Structure formats: C-alpha cells, structure tokens
C-alpha cells in the first residue's frame, strides 16, 4: 500500500507533455476567475470542439443563467442504461460586493463586501485584488466589469493594521477573530470631485464608473461584483513542477474535465459533463447542483434523440448512471502534517485522489461510495495506467467537508469523489502539482470512454 511520488516513473518526454498541458491550465485559471468567466471559457472551448446547442446533435451543451454548463456526448449504447457523469464546480471562495457597498470615510472611497464560501479572512488583507462582475443598468443593458487583470490596470486592496499598533486589536485575539468580516472593506479611491460639497471622493469614483460603464450607484443594488486576487497563475518551484493560482478548487477539476470530455470520440455510454455553481455555499439556488437544470437539460437531450422523456425513464437513467464527483482534496501539508492521518491522506504528485467518503464527525453528511463501485473505478484506472491514490480529508474529528456527491447520489447513481490534491486550499493562492493535473485529465477521459 506504500505509494511513492508519481514523478519517479515519468520519463523526460512524459514530463514535457505534463508541463505543456499545464500551460493551458494556467491560461484557463487567468481567464476564468469567476463562474461566469469560467462558463465563457468552457463554452468557447466546447464550440471549438464541435459542440452546439441543438439538442439533437451528437455533442450538445447548455448554459444556465450564465453560471452553469452541462455538456453531453452521445454514446452508441441505450440511454436507459444510464450515463457516465463527471461533475466539477466553477465557483470559488471570494468576496462579493454588498448591494449597497460604497461609502466615504477619512477622505477615502470604500466598498463593503460579504465573503462567499469558506475563507480565512486574514488571508485576504494586504494582497492585490481585482474586481470582476456584471452590472445590469437601468436601460436593461448588462455590462461586464473586469479591473485589475491587465498589466496597467489599477488593483484594489483591503487594509490591514500595522504591527506597531495591532497588539490589543488583533494580536491578542484568536486567529479566526483577528479580522472581522465587516472589516473586509476594499479601498476604492481617494481623489475628490472638484466642486462637490458632500462626499467628494465618493462622487468622484461614481463619476469614473459612470463614464466607463454608464452605471449609477443604484445599479450596484442588482450587480454581482466579485473581488478576487489580482495575481496570475504561475509555475511554482525551481523545477516548475507545481502551479500556484487562485480558484484551483475546483477549476482544476473543471479544466481537466473540459479537456477530458473534448477528447472523447464515439463512446459506448452517453457522457455528461457538469460544470456547476454554488458548491462552496452548499449547492443551493437556481444554478447549484440541487436545481432542476439537470432534469431540464436531460429532457432536451432525450427529446433530441427522439425519446419521450417520461419521469420513469428519467429516474431510471439517473439511477443507473455512474459518476465521478470531480473535486479537490487536501494534500498532506508539509508544515502542518499533524492534521492528517498520513496512511489515509493524499500527497502532491501521486495522481488524483479517490475519496470514498467525505463528511465530518463519523462520516456525517457523507456520500459513501459502494465497495463494488470503488473497485470498478480503481481497476479502470489501473487498467488504463492512470496514477491515482486514495485519501480522506484530514484526521478524524479534525474538521471535514463535503462535495456535490451526495446531491447526485440521491438519484441512486453510483458516485465517488475523485480529484487533484491541493495545498493551501481556499486561500487566494492555491497550489497543485502538474503531474496530478495531467493524470486527473487522463482519468476523466478514460472514465467517459469506459
């Protein structure tokens, strides 16, 4: 059972191929910093690979509210035998602007945020930030905003206290309490509008927004503006063997899924790739995996195949499906090894981690995959020469977590978590191994073709 670094069995040529695959991945991370941007990247790539929106086609995709994508590749088999499904999520922890975010204080314009997903708040202060999102103007026009990504763009910052003065206010507090959620306020400007009596700095930034985007302060009420790290994905390590970047949970799965699906030609079983939203806040809402979009999409697919999609057939299709819940797991942390039980943990550079169950405090909230299904998947990977490992999310009672697996398992399908190990998960700069990224891509491809 003792596994070792996967790099040891990779040749120079293999490493070249693995590194070249990571170039596309880094570009994806830079282009897709929000779920909406991920949808645009994914649909663009799908169209380039011959996918279309006509449900009677062989390669079909559909978009839900600009935040979720489903893509289908028709197989040669009977669809009532079920689908091969891989599901990844394209939302990531971040800060959202509040609906009434803008104010002026001490001659500065500031924006209030409400954090999204599980973040360690102290990691988001004193780092360069970018602003991405959409504004729906009063004239009905939707405007995309993206500031802080181009070389000459300004960036934004959340203030932190200097160490000289933080003794009582921060240092004596518990780490988790040191930065209050309401203090995650973005510095937005400092120039006063000439001639303005009241709130001249606020008036000035509103003028800038009005000139650039034709928007007013009222338009912020409906806007969806996300604050994300401004830095780019880059190679990490003197040997360039790792990738550092924001949003790798779970865009490492999304990218490898996209690439894996595009490689699939004439499969036996029908293939479905799901790029879902809202996983980080419990998969709730109209664009999360719990919404009816899955059924609506499959209704259209069945109709496109000339099959009447009655409820009994839909239930059967989902019940007989086999799925991978493509999500990351926590790689053994070199400096905090004590949170892992290292015999049952995943390591960077040993391939995707197959996680039989997630949950916390005695598997509560877990989807626990069947022995038969675990064996089916591990044997498939072995047969196909895919490097893989198995691991739990941390020590018993240390914490825990969940994925979308349980929300699809309710349909009765076989499903198991499988994804690349990630270090510094949920931080502004997550880390993954190029080997794991590549093996995960191959794993998804062979799963679809099985």
Number of residues that bind Mn ion (CB under 5 A): 3
Rule CB under 5 A: choose which of 224, 226, 327, 414 binds Mn ion. Answer: 327
Among the residue ranges 53-61, 67-75, 173-181, 247-255, the one whose residues contact Mn ion (CB under 5 A): 247-255
The answer to whether the beta carbons of residues 336 and 175 sit under 8 Å apart is no
Among the residue ranges 108-116, 138-146, 250-258, 434-442, the one whose residues contact Mn ion (CB under 5 A): 250-258
Among the residue ranges 56-64, 248-256, 259-267, 371-379, the one whose residues contact Mn ion (CB under 5 A): 248-256
Closest approach, Cβ 426 to Mn ion, in A, equals 6
Closest approach, Cβ 330 to Mn ion, in A, equals 10
Which parts of 334-388 are beta strand (E)? 353-355
Strand order in the sheet with 242-245: 234-236, 242-245, 430-433
| Residue 249 touches Mn ion, criterion: CB under 5 A | yes
Among residues 111, 113, 118, the alpha carbon closest in space to that of 93 is found at 118
Length of the chain: 450
Between 206 and 393, whose beta carbon lies closer to Mn ion? Answer: 393
Instruction: Determine the distance from the C-alpha atom of residue 96 to the mean position of all C-alpha atoms in its chain, rounded to a whole number.
Output: 16
Name the residue number minimizing CB distance to Mn ion.
250
CB-side neighbour CA atoms (13 Å) of 178: 21
Q: What is the rounded CA–CA span in Å between residue 156 and residue 173?
A: 27
Between 60 and 328, whose beta carbon lies closer to Mn ion? Answer: 328
The answer to whether the beta carbons of residues 230 and 13 sit under 8 Å apart is no
Among the residue ranges 294-302, 324-332, 383-391, 429-437, the one whose residues contact Mn ion (CB under 5 A): 324-332
Closest approach, Cβ 89 to Mn ion, in A, equals 6
Rule CB under 5 A: choose which of 37, 104, 250, 414 binds Mn ion. Answer: 250
Between 215 and 431, whose beta carbon lies closer to Mn ion? Answer: 431
What DSSP string describes 184-245?
-EEEEE-PPPTT--S-HHHHHHHHHHHHHH---GGGGGT-EEEEEE-PPPEEESTT--EEEE
Closest approach, Cβ 280 to Mn ion, in A, equals 5
Between 209 and 243, whose beta carbon lies closer to Mn ion? Answer: 243
Between 250 and 449, whose beta carbon lies closer to Mn ion? Answer: 250
The residues binding Mn ion (CB under 5 A) are 249-250, 327
């Amino acid at each position: 059972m003792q596994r070792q670094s996967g790099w040891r069995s990779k040749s120079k040529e293999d490493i070249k191929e693995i590194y070249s695959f990571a170039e596309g991945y880094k570009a994806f991370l830079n282009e897709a910093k929000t779920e909406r941007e991920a949808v645009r990247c994914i649909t663009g790539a799908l169209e380039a690979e011959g996918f279309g929106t006509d449900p009677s086609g062989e390669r079909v995709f559909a978009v839900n509210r600009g935040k979720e994508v489903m893509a289908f590749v028709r197989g040669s088999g009977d669809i009532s035998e079920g689908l091969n499904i891989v599901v990844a999520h394209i939302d990531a922890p971040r800060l959202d602007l509040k609906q009434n975010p803008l104010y002026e204080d001490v001659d500065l314009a500031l924006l209030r945020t409400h954090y999204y997903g599980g973040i360690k708040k102290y990691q988001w202060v004193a780092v360069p930030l970018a602003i991405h999102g959409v504004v729906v103007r009063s004239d009905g026009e939707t405007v995309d905003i993206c500031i802080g990504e181009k070389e000459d763009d300004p960036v934004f910052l959340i203030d932190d206290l200097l160490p000289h003065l933080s003794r009582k206010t921060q240092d004596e507090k518990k780490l988790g309490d040191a930065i209050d959620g309401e203090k995650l306020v973005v510095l937005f400007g400092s120039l006063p509008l000439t001639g303005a009596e009241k709130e001249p700095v606020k008036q000035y930034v509103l003028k800038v927004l009005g000139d650039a985007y034709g928007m007013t302060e009222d338009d912020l009420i409906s806007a969806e503006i996300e604050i994300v790290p401004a830095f780019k994905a880059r190679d990490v390590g003197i040997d360039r063997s790792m990738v550092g970047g924001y949003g790798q949970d779970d865009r490492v799965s999304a990218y490898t899924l996209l690439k894996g699906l595009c490689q699939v030609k004439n499969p036996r079983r029908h293939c479905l790739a799901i790029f879902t939203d809202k996983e980080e806040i419990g998969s709730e809402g109209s664009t999360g995996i719990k919404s009816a979009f899955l059924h609506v999409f499959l209704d259209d697919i069945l109709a496109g195949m000339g099959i009447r999609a009655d409820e009994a057939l839909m239930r059967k299709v989902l019940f007989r499906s086999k799925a991978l819940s493509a999500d990351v797991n926590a790689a053994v942390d070199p400096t905090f090894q004590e949170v892992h039980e290292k015999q049952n943990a995943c390591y960077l550079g040993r391939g995707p981690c197959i996680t039989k169950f997630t949950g916390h405090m005695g598997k509560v909230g877990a989807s626990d995959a069947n022995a038969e299904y675990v064996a089916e998947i591990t044997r498939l990977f072995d047969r196909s020469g895919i490097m893989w490992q198995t691991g739990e999310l941390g020590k018993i009672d240390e914490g825990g977590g969940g994925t979308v697996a349980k929300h699809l398992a309710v349909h009765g399908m076989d499903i198991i978590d499988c994804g690349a190990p990630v270090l510094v998960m949920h931080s502004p700069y997550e880390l993954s191994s190029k080997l794991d990224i590549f093996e995960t891509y191959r794993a998804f491809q062979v799963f679809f073709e099985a």
